[in-house]
Structure formats: C-alpha cells, structure tokens
Structure 1
Amino acid sequence: MGAFDGAFDKLRGDQISHGYWGEHTSTIDWCENNYVHTPYIAETINTLTNLPSILLGLYGFFSVINNGLPKRFSICYLGLSLIGIGSFGFHMSLRWEWQLMDELPMIYVVSYAAFLILETSPGLDWQFGIIGPIIMIAWDIFVTISYIYLPNPVYHQIAFAIILITTTTRTAYLAFKLPPNHPSKVKIGKTMAWGVVTFAVGFGIWNIDNLFCAQLRQIRDMVGPLGIFVEGHAYWHLMTGYGSFLIFTASILLHLCIKVSPDAYTFDEKAFFPVVYPVKPQDRVKVKINGHAK
C-alpha cells in the first residue's frame, strides 16, 4: 500500500522485472524477492498478507448491515476491503494499473472518512447538502488525474497524508471534547489510540524494511523458510489493516454519539474485532451532557 520514494530505485536494480503478468510497469518494487515461491505471484508474502484486510473489511461491512447502523458507515469498511484487493493485485503483478487500484482507493476511503467526521450536525441528515459530496468528489478527481500524469509516490503520499492528518486531528478533537461523564468517551479514546499506534508501528516496520533491505535479505537467506517473518512490508499490511479497522470502529461510535444519542450505540472494547451495535432501550443509561439528560 503506497510508498515513500528514496530506497525504491535501489531495490529495483537486482529484481526480476517481468513474469507471468508481463513486464513490471509499477513505479515501485519492494524488498521481497520476486517470484521466489511461485511463478504466478511476484511477491508472495506481500500479496497474501492483504487477505486479512479484505476479510476484516467485509466483516465490518456486514456488521453495519446486520446491526442496523446507517449504511453510510459500511462504506468505510468496504473501502478497507477495496484497498486490500488493489494491494493484492499490485504485489501479485507489479503492474501500474494495479498500483493505481492500490493507491487511489487509499485517497478515496480517507476522503470519505474525512467527509463523515467533518459532518457532525445533529441528526442523520447531511449538514452540507450536496456541496459536501461535490467537494469530496472534486478532490478525489483532482488527485486521480494529477497522480496519473505525475506518477510519483511522494506526491501520492503527500495527498494521502493531508487527508489522513485532517481526519485524525478532527476525530481526536471531537473525542477530546466529549464530556468527562460521556458513557463512550473512554472506549472511543482507547480504541482510537490503539488503532493509531498499531498503524504507526506498522509504518515504522515497513520503513525499516526499506532502509535496511540488503541486510534483511541476507537474514532471509540465512533462516530459509522462516524468512517470511522478516518481510517488513507484510507487517505494514497486517498492522495498518487492523489499525484502520479499529479507527473506523471508534469513529463510527463517536459519530453516532454526536449525531444520534450518547447512549444509543456501543461496542465491546475488549473484543479483538469490536463492532458498533445498538443498545437495547431497557439497557440505556441516561447521562447528563452539559446539564441536560441525553
């Protein structure tokens, strides 16, 4: 999923540049050696480690449907699966068109998440009407066209970082502004923090893989089959997929607490894969927010 430029030009020099899917046309190759396990997959470990994200996104998507949440939230999870599918194809083929299917959905999904977290008026009607979606779609179109004509990974990452930082900052602000006695404040904060930390650690491991690729390849050669556990980019897939899932779950509950009611929805923060579900009316605990019972 994505890449900063720098070490990647060096990685491409001694890699196989074509295979079952044709010439490698992607602007990025990775530290995993190509076609080691099968002639049909360029990077086996980097490819297969996208499967958990695909399945986790589907799990979140169906949880929204089955628990009767507004369907707008299911798109976040479905987007996680879409990114995983694009990344699967990218690492399998190292083709430019699949690279776009990996990197551009990252922009679209985070743009949509930003749109949701900026739209926090009471009730489920859209605060900005048609203007909000138009701005979001216009931004996505601009990034898509400009990236196709300027296929530099740094440009993609800057565009992605702008939206991600905006979304994370806004979410943290809204969570911090929840009153101390809000029934979901602690679980939203802890789950959001754990998701961000997981995401960040995965990012760090991936960049160690970039910076010390030559040394890590030597280690893989020495340990043989156990070398699959020294594929740093694979950890990025696993950890950012899980971290994104947690962030989406916490954000959805935060959104519903603000727009619907502070006691109408919850999730089990002790669950490894928490999902938001409605609280039964008899189990709701009314809480005073700003002096008023909500």
Structure 2
Amino acid sequence: MGMIMADAVRNSTTYFWGQRTSTIDWCEENYVVSHYIAEFWNSITNGVFVALAFLGMYTTAKHRQGWRVFACYAALMFVGCGSACFHATLKYTTQLLDELPMLYLCALVLYALIEIDKNTKYGAAVPLALIAFQATITCIYVFWIQNPIFHQVAFALTAFGGVGFGLKRLREMQLSARTWRILSRLHLLGHVGMWGGFLAWNIDNIFCHRLRSYRSHVGAPLDVFFQLHGWWHVLTAYGSTYLLLWVHFIRLARLGHDHLFTIKYALGFLPYVAMDTPKKVE
C-alpha cells in the first residue's frame, strides 16, 4: 500500500527534522515544497480540522451547551494538530499524536451519547471503563503491536460503537419532522465525507507511484489535486464535523432545545450549530 515503509530517496538526515523515525511514510514526496515541513500538503490540510473544531467549540461555549459536546470538538482539534505535527516531522512520537487522539475522540463521542442528559446517570462507571479500554489499546499499540492496522481496527470499533449508540438514542425520542430532516442530512453528509475520504486514502495508497508521476508531469500548483492524502484530511474533517454536529443536535433534541437551533455556515462553507432566526412574515 502507499504507506511507504522505506522512502530512502527522501529520508536523509540532512533534512530539517532529520531522518524519519515514523513507521509510515505517506505518498507525498518529502521536503519538496518546504525545507521545514516534511509533507507540506499533508500537513497544512489539517487546518480544516482546526477551523471546524474551533467553530464548534466557540458556538458550544457561546450557547452554554455542555462540556461533553465541547470536549468532542476540542478532541477533533487535537486530532488535526497532532496530524499536522506528524506529517510535518515524520517522527514516531508525532505519529502517535496523529493516531491516538482519533481513538480518544471516538471515546468522548461515545461518552457524550451514553450520558446524553443534562445530569449524568452512571457516575464514574462509564468514564472509568472508557479510560481503561483506551489505555489498554494505547499500551498495546505503543509497546506491543506497532502496526497501523491494529490502530485502524480499534478506531473503527470505537467509531461504530458511537454511531450505533447514536441511532439507539434516536429510536428513544419522538422528533419533529424538521429535526429529522436536519439529523438525516447531517448523518448523510458525515458518511459522504468519511467514505469519500476513505476512497481518496486508498487510491493514494494503492496508486502512489502513478500519482507521483502525475504530480511530476503537471507540476505546481496543479499537482495539489493529486495529493489525495491531503484530500483525505479535508473530506474526513468535514465528515467528522458533520457527525459531531449530528451528535450535538441529538443532545439538543434530547434536552428539548432542538426547535431553537439550526445548522448554518460561516463564510459559506464552515458548518456549525446556531440559533434559528425566525423568518419574517410579510
């Protein structure tokens, strides 16, 4: 796969961050755009995570919608920052900053859906169980099975648990037609982003050498269209955000506040939960 395990041509100790120590080297050629950033496009595309997460944190705090939802957006920002550091340096320590926060984000989402009411129901039992599970996965990954596939399987299991629990919550509630439309659209867009990103990720992995040839042929700036791992970041940033907005809106519905809120777009392309402004009647 395109997770280049030994890109010896561009793994020199003379580069800014020195020799690569990560177990993965992605398809983007190292230190081509900048002397200071190993994988330039793979690094800066994580800014989409940061922008979307910051907007979610801001609006959650503004409307005082609970620390659990705020923590989910904060974890999404941590994912983007960790991924940017990893692709900028290609070091094993920053690789862990990229991969492990994804697991913790999913665990926080699962917790927010389990403890969806204003007051917690299970006390310390749920967070302690989730912390123990994530700590076990972390230790296994860091000290024993240092294989990206193990991380991917653990991430998928946690993510599916969150989606499944979210659907369970939906079945428990009587929702208005308007809220159903909003939630259905968020869920659809979330999956389009995630699966679209997964497709780009796999194409980048499988056809890496061909993509490198295309990039060499077209040159800058058109070569950015063939940086598919970067596009994976953009698509999954949107997919993750839409799914977090889905969780956010489920909680609003659970608390009976969904009729007061809607989904709006900052700058026309950054989605967030906002107060619904009633339309004027002429």
Give the TM-score, by structure 2 length.
0.90
* Distance verdict in 2 for CA 1:182–1:96, change over 3 Å: same
* Distance verdict in 2 for CA 1:178–1:14, change over 3 Å: farther
* Deviation at residue 29 of structure 1 after TM alignment: 0.2
- Residues 76-115 of structure 1: pairs in structure 2 closer than 5 A: 76-115=72-111
Q: Which residue of structure 1 lines up, in the alignment, with residue 120 of structure 2?
A: 126
* Deviation at residue 264 of structure 1 after TM alignment: 5.1
Q: Which residue of structure 1 lines up, in the alignment, with residue 48 of structure 2?
A: 52
Q: Which residue of structure 1 lines up, in the alignment, with residue 36 of structure 2?
A: 40
Structure 2 distance, partners of 1:35, 1:261, is 52
Equivalent residues of 2:56, 2:273 under 8 A apart:
no
Moved more, 19-28 or 216-225: 19-28
Moved more, 267-276 or 35-44: 267-276
- Offset from partner CA, 1:156-197 (integer Å, 9 cap, x none): 001101001111222234335544645411101111111111
Moved more, 7-16 or 44-53: 7-16
Structure 2 distance, partners of 1:91, 1:70, is 33
Structure 2 unaligned blocks of 5 or more: none
Equivalent residues of 1:11, 1:31 under 8 A apart:
no
Q: Which residue of structure 1 lines up, in the alignment, with residue 160 of structure 2?
A: 165
* Deviation at residue 107 of structure 1 after TM alignment: 0.5
Equivalent residues of 1:86, 1:102 under 8 A apart:
yes
Partner SS for 2:137: helix
Q: Which residue of structure 2 lines up, in the alignment, with residue 242 of structure 1?
A: 238
* Distance verdict in 2 for CA 1:70–1:238, change over 3 Å: same
Structure 1 unaligned blocks of 5 or more: 1-5, 284-294
Partner SS for 1:267: strand
Structure 1 distance, partners of 2:27, 2:237, is 20
Q: Which residue of structure 1 lines up, in the alignment, with residue 185 of structure 2?
A: 190
Pick the aligned partner of 1:254 from 244, 250, 261: 250
Partner SS for 1:105: helix
Amino-acid identity (%) = 31
**RMSD of equivalent CA atoms:** 2.1
Structure 1 distance, partners of 2:270, 2:4, is 38
